[in-house]
Amino acid sequence: MSHSKLLIPSLLLALFTAAMISPGCTSNREEVSANSSDSSSLVADFRVSPQGDSTISDRKFEQVPAIAASADGNILYVAWYSGGKSPGPGNFVTVSTSTDNGETWVNDQLVVYPKSPSSRIFDPALWRDNKGQVRLYYGSVKDSLVWDGIGGVNSVEISMNGSDIAFSSPKRLTDGVMSNKPVYVSSKKITLLPVYVDKPSNADSSGVVYPESGAFIFASDDKGLTKYSTIVLPDSLRIHDEPQIVEVNSEGGLLALLRTTKGIYSANSLDYGKTWSEPKPFTASGPTTSSRFFIGKLVSGNLLLLSNNSTTRNNMTASVSKDGGKTWPYQLLLDSRENVSYPDADQTPDGAIHVVFDRDRTGAKDILYCRFTEEDILKGLKENVFKKRVNK
């Protein structure tokens, strides 16, 4: 089974890696000041099960969830960000876990705080790599800017050590933000990371040199991380590109989806992501809105799409394509309410699909979890969808 399938490593690998604790991880219940190997990166504080913190107990909003399972499927990790009055200074990323298939959740088992009160930690992504290791990615930046000279995409390995989350030393990877899962292309032995850099919101009057803006694919292999390709969107369409990619065949075919001001756009690659077609409106699954989505490959080889099947942020829907993303005839409505957004998913060896998304970020402040199977989508079995609120 190819590791290019985004959601499932092999069962043998799962059983092997489940028994291992990542080397160099710590689970001490103390504040750990973690500096990246890049001296220009932002310093973050990692705290395991912090107690007595009013910023955790009195949250003003909750948003942008991510999910990943351990290789054996026994542990589910969900991360999102909160903290502060709104998206901006003081934001932190929090990680919760479930060991009973999403029935119950233990919140705030790991919290990633900004070292400086004028900085923020935000937009987490969770991914199980081709070796079965769960990785937490997060953005770091000063104030509400996407770039301040030190911010960027950071990565840390996480695992369970008894009842605590253990974590490795974090690394700063590159400029920008990556709020979606990478993809491992087994035939090339590379990991492709979808990253975007927003345009500066105001003129540069401070002398800070901003990085090139755009939607980029970075490639990681045993030689390191390099900028691999660019997906070009017109400036008039750009708003937090949030690109995501999936392998659609074994001959170099990849599909990229991007958020734009006019909904989801798509681009195609025939050479393993080195070059991309001009992005066009993505209409194959129905209406879309300007919001993050999820696309990935199931163990069956079919594609899974999670998106608002609407021109606004309602009708959170799971869709399946059997023809590499050309058509999406199988759909399952997960939540018809308003203000549901930013889905993410993973699949465990038992075939279960695990989904999270947020709802009513400043009101109900829901981080919602759903569990179902591919067969449920193919047959439209809404009654089989298990639903649970993750956060307290």
pLDDT at 118: 87
**How does DSSP classify residue 6?**
S
Question: For residue 203, is it within any domain?
Answer: yes
E strand or H helix at 258, and its extent? strand 254-260
Q: What is the CATH number of the domain that holds 58?
A: 2.120.10.10
pLDDT at 204: 54
pLDDT at 5: 41
Question: For residue 305, is it within any domain?
Answer: yes
Length of the chain: 392
Question: For residue 30, is it within any domain?
Answer: yes
Tokens encoding 213: 């803006």
Taking the CA atoms of 314, 282, 257 and 386 in sequence, report the sign of the dihedral they define: positive
Rounded CA-CA distance 97/68 in Å is: 10
Task: Give Cα 32 distance to the centre of its chain.
Answer: 24
Cβ–Cβ under 8 Å, residues 65 and 342: yes
Taking the CA atoms of 54, 158, 188 and 224 in sequence, report the sign of the dihedral they define: positive
pLDDT at 25: 55
Question: For residue 3, is it within any domain?
Answer: no
Tokens encoding 59: 């949250």
Question: For residue 2, is it within any domain?
Answer: no
Of 198, 158, 156, which is closest to residue 175 (Cα–Cα)?
198
Per residue in 83-112, is it b (16+ CB within 10 Å) or e — as a string? bbeebbbbbbbbbbbbeebbeebebbbbbb
Q: Give residue 385's domain range.
A: 11-389
Exposed / middle / buried, residue 252 (Cβ in 10 Å: 0-12, 13-18, 19+)? middle
Please, which residues have CB within 8 angstroms of residue 29's CB and are 6 or more apart in sequence? 48, 49, 164
Question: For residue 6, is it within any domain?
Answer: no
How many domains is the chain partitioned into structurally? 1
Question: For residue 5, is it within any domain?
Answer: no
Question: For residue 342, is it within any domain?
Answer: yes
pLDDT at 4: 37
Cβ–Cβ under 8 Å, residues 340 and 359: yes
Tokens encoding 81: 């960000």
pLDDT along the chain (392 residues), means of 10: 39 34 41 36 83 89 98 98 93 98 98 92 97 97 69 94 96 94 98 93 64 95 96 97 98 98 98 98 98 98 98 98 98 98 98 98 98 98 98 93
Rounded CA-CA distance 153/256 in Å is: 20
Cα torsion through 217, 196, 338, 362, rounded to 10: 140
